[in-house]
Structure 1
Amino acid sequence: MEKMVVVVFDNESKAYSGLNELKKLHQQADLLLYAIAVIAKSTDGKVDVRQVDGGPLGTLFGTVLGGMVGILAGPVGMAVGMASGSLGGAVSDMYQMGIDLEFLDDVGRVLTPGKAAVVASVDEYWTTPLDTSMEPLGGIVFRKLRTEVIDDQLDREIQQTQAELQALEEEFNTATAEQKAQLQAKIDATRSKLQSKVDAANKWMEDTNQQARAKVMALEEQAKTASDRRKAQIDKRITEIQSDVAQRQEKLKQAAGLAREALTV
């Protein structure tokens, strides 16, 4: 199952050792490493990214990592994020990755000044290999199972905006000439809003397709050197990813298709 993992260490040196251990686990096919980074918290509470590889997740991982850094920096970091207007977007990006503020609060309690952490998106077949490899380094492991929530959010927003447009158009048909001028402005704005929701859904479908293909390629590459038992697990995971993305795509395609019909009327 795909998870966001944060492993907190006493210092940067141990964090880099943890990074190497995670890469070994990936090479041994004990887990699949999608993206990874090292962050460090200075004595004054500032959190910096020391190293990052977005892998199949690309820029999304980097964006999420930036949001995490802002929040893990504590009240000062959050205040700066709110003042610049960036924190709301960062929270939204993390929400897409299945990360909530409660998870980060747990991490923040342990990631105190002077400590460092490895942040990674992984597919784990079981938890023992990671826990066992981090224990000698004193790494404290936090896991958050990734859930895809943005699909439902986009579907809901498209349906709500479409219903809003339909209600305005019905009102327009029975309005006076004076009222119609005002209603038409609202209709135009709502149609524009609906189109933006459809565009967002199309972009999200494109992004998830690309991510799914990249994940499958990474799994196929890992399978080349895996044992027969592990190859069976990898093949199963590939099937799960392909089935999951197909179901998610179909749901959004239906919602976007109905919205486009409403826009052409």
Structure 2
Amino acid sequence: MEKMIQALFNSEAEAFTALQALQQLDLSKDVSLGETYVLTKNEAGETAIRSAKDAAEGTGIVSGGLIGGLIGLLAGPLGFIVGVAGGMFAGSASETLKAEEVSDYLDQVSSNIPKGKSVLIAHLWEDWETPVDTVLKPYTVDIQRFNVQDELFIPAQSELSKTIEAIKVAETKYLEAQGAEKADWNATLANLRTKRERLQRNLDVNADQQEKQYQQWIEHSAVDNDASDEKRAQLAGRLEEQRIRLEQIKQNR
């Protein structure tokens, strides 16, 4: 199942150690790993965003132009669940520097990280939770999972549908209105149409990124004939589910 995982750590070093453990799970095909980022807040309340590539090369903060894929595109209603479910984070948002404004999703995560802590964000596919829990829990027990389809895209699609219905109502009201009231409804219509275009654009671009990610996962999940019968069955099942989901994404565009 496609998920976003957020895990809280006491240090950036622990977060990157946990990230390396996830990468090993990906190599062994226990999960299909997508984008990963580590966000660290210093004692001054400033948040740095680093990728696995940054850690390997010793470079600094990820800039807006370098955040890509699904995580970089999550915005608006697609990021509304961050920091809400379960109260994972307990930091003050008032002293936080936004995460380079690269993504509403990352901004919201950043605003909820306690000072001196780090958060690992991973976009992945897992067949069951045990492998990830096993490698992360030596470093943290603060792990949250979000089902990408049910908790991110369905709410966003619902928001788009509500906006389209609101436009229909506003169009009727505009035709019925007179004078200053007509001007007010015209302004309301303009705002609603702008919102509709933004929501549709976000969904379209996210669908493009999801297609690319699923194609990569499907290639990575190819069944290894040298694997055990149990492993081959697991990978075959994952491949089938990922192919079905990819077709759904294409059909819903």
Same fold (TM over 0.5): yes
Deviation at 1:208, TM superposition (A): 3.0
The Cα of 1:244 is off from its aligned counterpart by: 5.2
- In 1, distance between residues paired with 2:184 and 2:41? 49
Instruction: State the alpha-carbon separation in 2 of the partners of residues 189 and 182 from structure 1.
Output: 11
RMSD of aligned alpha carbons: 3.7
SS in 2 for 1:123: strand
Given candidates 114, 117, 121, the residue that maps to 2:116 is: 114
Question: Are the counterparts in 2 of residues 34 and 57 from structure 1 also a CA contact under 8 Å?
Answer: no
Structure 1 residues 112 and 159 mapped into 2: Cα distance closer, same or farther (>3 Å)? closer
Q: Deviations over 1:200-224 (max 9, x none)?
A: 3441342132022112212122123
- TM-score by length of structure 1 reads 0.66
Matching residue of 1:228: 232
Structure 1 residues 8 and 155, CA gap change in structure 2 (3 angstroms): same
Per-residue deviation, 1:24? 1.4
2:245 equivalent to 1:240: yes
Whether contact under 8 Å (1:34, 1:55) holds in the other structure is: no
Name the aligned partner's letter for residue 163 of structure 2: E
Answering whether residue 168 of structure 2 is matched by residue 162 of structure 1, we say yes
| Residue-by-residue CA offset, 1:176-201 (whole Å, 9 max, x unaligned) | xxx4x445534543443454244234
For these two proteins, the number of residue pairs brought into alignment is: 217
Distance 1:55 1:124, change over 3 A: farther
Number of the residue aligned with 1:77: 95
Q: CA deviation at 1:133?
A: 1.3
1:3 aligns with 2:3: yes
Q: Residue 115 and residue 20 in structure 1: after superposition, are their counterparts in 2 closer, same or farther (change >3 A)?
A: same
Give the whole-Å Cα distance in 2 for the aligned partners of 1:10 and 1:189: 49
Higher helix proportion, which one?
A: 1
- Alpha-carbon distance between aligned partners in 2 of 1:164 and 1:128, rounded to the nearest angstrom: 50
Q: Equivalents in 2 of 1:58, 1:41: separation in Å? A: 19
Q: Secondary structure at the match of 2:137?
A: helix
Give me the whole-angstrom Cα distance separating, in 2, the residues matched to 1:183 and 1:114.
52
Give the corresponding residue for 1:20.
20
- 1-side partners of 2:2 and 2:240: how far apart? 15
Matches within 5 A, 1:72-221: 74-77=92-95, 93-94=104-105, 112-136=114-138, 138-146=139-147, 147=151, 148=153, 149-169=155-175, 171-172=176-177, 179=178, 181-182=179-180, 184-186=182-184, 188-221=186-219
The answer to whether the Cα contact below 8 Å between 1:208 and 1:245 also exists between their aligned partners in 2 is no
Identity of aligned residues (%): 19
* Bigger CA radius of gyration: 1
Gaps of 5+ in 1: 173-178, 250-265
* 1:89-131 Cα shifts (integer Å, max 9, x gaps): 97xx43xx9x9x8xx69x95xx654333322122221111111
Quote the offset at 1:151 in angstroms. 0.9
Q: What is the SS of the residue equivalent to 2:95?
A: helix
Partner letter of residue 28 of structure 1?
S
Q: Would you say the 8 A contact 1:54–1:61 is kept in 2?
A: no
Long gaps (5+) in structure 2: 52-61, 84-88, 225-230
- Counterpart in 1 of 2:228? none
